[in-house]
Amino acid sequence: MSEGPINFGGAGDIDMLPTEARAAMRRLQQAGTAFGNRWTVLSTAIRTGELEANTGFDTLSKGFRDAYNPAKEPIQQASDATGGAVGGLGAQGNQIVGQYVQSAQRDAARMRAVGDL
């Protein structure tokens, strides 16, 4: 069975173009990988910059630290998790497309078998 449109024409609850859906899931997975790779480089550069920064104790430096320090950890944690989360969504989406195609093929075969009765 080809992987053309499934359930188009008002039948079924979900319409899908499997080839296009797989391509979208691959792009999502690639985006997660790209983000993760880039974040690794950038987070290292940020940590290096933090170690090299020599902020003083004047009003400007204190104001910067007061705003930067509380935001740093949550942003870093979220960024650390983003690449894997986005890539994981793409991988899971690809699995779901495959399962959907298998179900559609199985159901079509069952309907043909019923028609042969």
Answer yes or no: are the C-beta atoms of 100 and 15 closer than 8 Å: no
Mean pLDDT of 74-88: 96
pLDDT digits (tens, 9 = 90+) for 82-117: 999 999 999 999 999 999 889 888 888 888 888 776
d(CA 51, CA 45): 10
| Short-list 81, 102, 97, 105, CA closest to 27 | 97
pLDDT digits (tens, 9 = 90+) for 8-57: 555 556 678 899 999 999 999 999 999 999 999 999 999 998 888 877 88
**Domain regions of the chain by residue span:** 18-72+84-115
